Amino acid sequence: MSISSNSIEDLNKNIEILSLRLEQANSLPRKILLGLVSGLPTVIGATIVATVVIAILSRSIKTLSDIPIVGPLIENTQMEQYINR
């Protein structure tokens, strides 16, 4: 079984193309751009989720303040001033 010079040249050409594509994929500007593109939606989504959770907790604490045991506790810890904002 012999390997022709054309197949070796094709193989070398494919290796060069692969090397070029790897260099492009690992370039710093590309990594920065991909980091921004993937990170920004994550931050926005986390902010929305945190806002919803805080709103739910705030309303829950307002509801809990009507319970006789919990109401005085909320007044003693002065959480009411933060809840009413």
C-alpha 42/C-alpha 40 separation (Å) is 5
> Which residue has tokens 């993937």?
38
pLDDT of residue 68: 73
Q: pLDDT tens for residues 15-33?
A: 999 999 999 989 999 999 9
C-alpha 12/C-alpha 42 separation (Å) is 41
Domain spans of the chain, in order of start: 5-83
C-alpha 56/C-alpha 50 separation (Å) is 10
The pTM of the full predicted model, rounded to 2 decimals, is 0.52
Rg for the chain, CA atoms, rounded? 30
Of 23, 31, 85, give the one whose Cα is nearest residue 58. Answer: 85
